[in-house]
């Protein structure tokens, strides 16, 4: 018997894990990843303002190179923000379009969580290590949240929020067990210098991290119908959602 997936999609007999296509375009990175037969493949490019032109050819190329037909996909995942308004809408719109066209479940994943997970993997962080993930918003604001490494995943320690020019205190107390990552780490320069903690200002969310987090979300039954796969922006300290137009 086949094992059921959300919204009536069935997993093929004998499949070890769902085949997941993941997208992340919330920052300067344009990133596509594929989980298939237990293997992970990714095309990750830092190409500011080129996402709309590149994302569909990147998807087609990744599927073609690895011999995966769209009909083989079990789910679509995307970085749902916070991040660039335009970038978040690109990933959400494409995920919705593919999901609707193939009647696939869609998994929205926090771009900050994807950033934290990618950083944990890149730096081989041990369990208990803490990550402050930052994504630049406008020139005087950043998106930020804190996470703790727990096994192969990261657990949120704080809500996602916006910090403005007057908010220079990080969401958690920095120490030697903390790393601050993302393109807005300079926002906390004074606190970082005082704590002497590690910094990775070049870190960006990656589709491979979105895919891994989506697999865990699928196992928890957190996929949604394509029409309900909405981007998330932050305004002040409250999350708000808007349908793609």
pLDDT tens digits for range 155-167: 999 999 999 999 9
One domain, residues 173 and 214: no
Whether the upstream peptide bond of residue 68 has omega within 30° of 0, thus cis, is no
One domain, residues 38 and 97: yes
Q: Tokens standing for 151?
A: 């096994």
pLDDT tens string 188-219: 999 999 999 999 999 999 999 999 999 999 99
Q: Which domain CATH number covers 35? A: 3.30.420.40
* 200, HSE (Cβ side, Cα atoms, 13 Å): 18
Residue count (the chain): 245
C-alpha 104, offset from chain centre: 19
Looking at the domain assignment, is residue 38 inside a domain? yes
Note down the domain range covering 191: 112-200
One domain, residues 12 and 87: yes
One domain, residues 17 and 100: yes
Looking at the domain assignment, is residue 20 inside a domain? yes
One domain, residues 106 and 210: yes
Number of domains in the chain: 2
Is the model's pLDDT at 108 over the cut of 50? yes
One domain, residues 101 and 219: yes
One domain, residues 195 and 218: no
One domain, residues 100 and 120: no
One domain, residues 104 and 12: yes
User: pTM for the whole thing?
Assistant: 0.90
Residue 177 φ then ψ, to 5°: -95, 10
Looking at the domain assignment, is residue 62 inside a domain? yes
Q: Are 195 and 56 in contact (CB under 8 A)?
A: no
Looking at the domain assignment, is residue 1 inside a domain? no
């Amino acid at each position: 018997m086949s094992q059921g997936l959300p919204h009536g999609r069935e997993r093929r007999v004998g499949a070890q894990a769902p085949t997941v296509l993941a997208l992340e375009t919330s920052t300067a990175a344009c990133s596509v990843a594929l989980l298939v037969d237990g293997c992970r493949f990714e095309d990750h490019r830092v190409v500011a303002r080129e996402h709309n032109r590149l994302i569909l050819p990147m998807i087609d190329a990744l599927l073609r190179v690895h011999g995966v037909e769209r009909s083989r996909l079990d789910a679509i995942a995307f970085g749902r923000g916070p991040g660039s308004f335009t970038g978040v809408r690109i990933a959400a719109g494409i995920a919705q379009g593919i999901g609707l066209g193939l009647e696939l479940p869609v998994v929205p994943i926090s771009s900050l969580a994807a950033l934290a997970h990618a950083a944990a993997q890149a730096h081989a962080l041990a369990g208990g290590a803490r990550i402050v993930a930052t994504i630049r918003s406008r020139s005087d604001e950043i998106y930020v949240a804190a996470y703790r490494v727990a096994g192969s995943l990261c657990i949120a320690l704080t809500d996602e929020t916006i910090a403005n020019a007057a908010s220079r205190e990080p969401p958690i107390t920095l120490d030697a067990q903390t790393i601050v990552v993302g393109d807005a780490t300079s926002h906390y320069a004074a606190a970082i210098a005082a704590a002497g903690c590690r910094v990775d200002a070049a870190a960006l969310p990656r589709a491979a991290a979105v895919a891994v987090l989506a697999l865990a979300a699928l196992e928890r039954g957190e996929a949604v119908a394509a029409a309900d796969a909405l981007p998330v922006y932050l305004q002040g300290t409250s999350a708000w959602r808007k349908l793609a137009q």
